[in-house]
A and B are shown apart, each in its own frame.
Chain A
Amino acid sequence: MKKMILPVALGAAFAATSLSAASAGTLEDVQERGKLRCAVSTGLAGFSYTDENGKWQGFDVDYCRAVAAAVLGDADAVEFSPTTGKTRFTALASGEVDILSRNTTWTFSRDADLKFTFLGVSYYDGQGFMVKKSLGVASAKELDGATVCIQTGTTTELNLSDYFTAEGMSYEPLSIETNTEGRANYLADACDVYTTDASGLAASRATFENADDHIVLPEIISKEPLGPLVRHGDDQWADIGRWVLNALKIAEEKGITAANADDMAANSKDPEVLRLLGASGEMGASVGLGNDFALVAIKSVGNYGEVFERHLGTQTKVNLARGLNAMWTEGGLQYAPPFR
């Protein structure tokens, strides 16, 4: 046995050195690999879920596809990693994924302490409460003493504690790991209240058998600007992610859709549209991409409004109104900086 020590130790030493190989820029890594690695949630109706063919679908998923289209020219060149509220940051920080698109709230500490760069707000949300109608509760202020189901490792957990403290009420937390478990516990009456982002509540409620037996209380207790994020330290990669998101929003503002994008690129009179679609200027090159990166992204998933309506809109089961997420021109908060 003694003889084995040396070769084993040497083997371990080699393994350790190969691990420490430095990584180049994320863009080069992605292009070399030919695949974008994108972290999404383990399953939330409308945002990210697998359809009956096993294909990932949803609002957060389409953003990944848009980035893949812009960077690799192929919206399907994405490897999706399902992550929980607990595992998502580790997955991103360790370099397991290139981008995190998983209804994650933009907060100071995540920006500063966790060393992530948020790319913008893809969805303006706020934390709400869902209860069964039979409880006869009409307001969150009546929830003193209730048992609350909550996903661990999320900002919801902290907001909940702040809200009940501020209102001078008490509650019993039942901390669970995924949205699925949360719903199961809530439906089994293991808790009175289910709390998460209002969009998440609507998404969960959409999957219930008797959706009408449940109500979402009027109180929204927090601001939850959700958006994609990347690691600190690669500004080029952050710019790409940020401007793909902005491009989708500008496209809606300018009336560019998946269907008419080619036509607009050829015939539009609007200089900003021409710049965005790569028909004039050299904008793409400055982030290391082709000039038509936004055109390809828009052609593959559609503009912001199209993505929203396809997965979350009033025609879907999730049934969310645009609300705060309408374009600024329509009275909402979605506002992309100019493309120039």
Chain B
Amino acid sequence: MSTSTVPADNSFQLSQLWRDARYRSYSIQIIALIVALSVVMMLIGNAVENLEALGKDFNFGFLYEPAGYDIGQVLVDYTSASGHWKAALVGLLNTLLVAFLACLTATIIGVFVGVLRLSNNWVVSRLMAVYIEGVRNVPLLLQILAWYAVFIHVFPTPKQAVKAPVIEGAVYATNRGFYIPGLTFDGGYQIVVAVLLASIAGIFVFRRWARQRQEATGQILPVGYITLGILIVPSVLAYFAAGMPIGLDYPVAGRFNLKGGLKVGTPLIALWFALSIYSAAFVAEIVRAGIMAISKGQTEAAYALGLRPKRTMSLVVLPQSLRIIIPPMISNYLNITKNSSLAIAVGYMDLTGTLGGITLNQTGREMECMLLLMATYLLISLSISAVMNVYNESVKLKGR
């Protein structure tokens, strides 16, 4: 009988940090972390030192001083007496507006183009290929400038537009923007809005019920028409019942520009157009990749069941390819949002134009403005990413 005379060696030696495989990876990571942190500290210290040498401090107080400049396209109340933070907010909303619009249209155009590129019709598929290759290989900035130039040269000046309106007295296309009637709200409009919101909620309920019914009985309801009915009929009834509280504000000719109504400026249109056309080419390729990844047998099986090509695409192929399409689409949406910062080229005052442009220049707070700007774009991008990832989870192949 023998017992181990050697006690378990629990003593820890410093050299083990490096020699012992159990600890080594931790040591390396901690050293790397310390080095990385000291680099960051050094950069911050360097910036602080340089700012001090220039006699500048680091504070965000300038945001509350009056901005002093005007902005062409604003979504919230803004005058030159508002603070710089308000100007930044106007810019942020403008960025979000154009990013949202561009994501939407780029997706719609992109899906069409992507599907058509796979068309059996040789002319159609070649045309789409030419569009995709042409558009995505030309720098976006040039495209934005080109579209802007087209818009300001092709469309008439406001004075000529009044003589040649798109719709007499209501819609005008000018080289400074498109004018459409705006809405005016009188007392009691809340009822109409409430009814409208209620019908939108009703539509969701109805569509859900219709789908369940179809799954249960196989009967297909004319969902499209009924949806349209629910959307329009109650609101129209409420509108008349409340005494027509919502009116239209028509644009009228002024001394220089059209006055009244709703103006969508040329810079916004040009930027929106360019971003959509450019990004749609990428979306199209993503969609094509997604569709081609679906086995041909799926399509053939759907045809064998008697489904037409259009229904096969929308019911069989596209839903399956979504899980391949979504991840690259997320980065595409992020690109659209970030690319919208080229807006200043055509005078669209987005976040880069206000906070990162005029405010920075008038106050000389480069450091503060740039940090704020980067933080904001980071926040927008992460939010888009988060929302899209939730959607991605919902369409992912579910393992059972």
Contact = CB atoms under 8 A, between A and B. Distances in A.
B366 A90 contact: yes
Interface in B28-45: 28-29, 31-32, 35-36, 38-39, 42-43
Interface residues of A, number: 52
Nearest to A164: B70
A190 B155 CA distance: 10
Contact of A175 (B72, B80, B157): B72
Given A13-B35, A157-B358, A161-B68, A232 B46 contact: no
B32 A6 contact: yes
B141 interface: no
A97 B87 CA distance: 30
B256 interface: yes
A222 interface: no
Contacts of B56: 115
Interface string A1-45: 010011001101100110110000000000000000000000000
B186 interface: no
Given A13-B35, A189-B175, A6 B28 contact: yes
Contacts of A93: 54, 364, 366
B361 interface: yes
B42 A152 contact: no
Interface string B55-84: 110000000000011111000000011000
Contact of A153 (B31, B43, B50, B358): B358
B17 to A, nearest CB: 15
B155 to A, nearest CB: 10
Given A145-B257, A188-B152, A173 B363 contact: no
Interface in B329-384: 344-345, 347, 349, 353, 357-358, 360-364, 366
Contacts of B361: 85-86, 89, 152-153
B32 A174 contact: no
B393 interface: no
Interface size class of B (residues with CB under 8 A): 35 or more
Contacts of A316: none
Given A147-B257, A158-B362, A19 B70 contact: no
B347 A2 contact: no
Contact of B55 (A2, A85, A115, A188): A115
Contacts of B176: 147, 172, 174, 190-191
Interface string A198-242: 000000000000000000000000000000000111000000000
Given A145-B255, A161-B80, A190-B176, A13 B357 contact: no
A96 interface: no
Contacts of B259: 145
A177 B344 contact: yes
B266 interface: yes
A328 interface: no
A174 B347 contact: yes
Nearest to B73: A172
Nearest to A11: B39
Interface string A92-116: 0100000000000000011001110
A6 B35 contact: yes
Contact of A233 (B42, B55, B69): B55
A158 B69 contact: yes
A16 B71 contact: no
B266 A147 contact: no
B133 interface: no
Contact of B71 (A9, A135, A144, A173): A173
Interface of A: 2, 5-6, 9-10, 12-13, 16-17, 19-20, 85-86, 89-90, 93, 109-110, 113-115, 135, 142-147, 152-153, 157-158, 160-162, 165, 171-177, 185, 188-192, 231-233
30 contacts: A5-B35, A6-B28, A6-B32, A13-B42, A16-B43, A17-B42, A85-B361, A86-B357, A86-B360, A90-B366, A93-B364, A113-B363, A113-B364, A115-B364, A145-B257, A146-B257, A147-B256, A152-B357, A152-B361, A157-B70, A157-B358, A157-B362, A161-B68, A175-B72, A175-B353, A176-B347, A188-B152, A190-B175, A190-B266, A233-B53
Q: What 4 pairs across the A-B complex have the smallest Cβ distances?
A: A153-B361, A9-B35, A114-B364, A161-B80
Given A171-B70, A233-B53, 10 more contacts: A13-B38, A109-B362, A157-B69, A157-B358, A161-B80, A162-B68, A173-B71, A177-B344, A177-B345, A190-B176
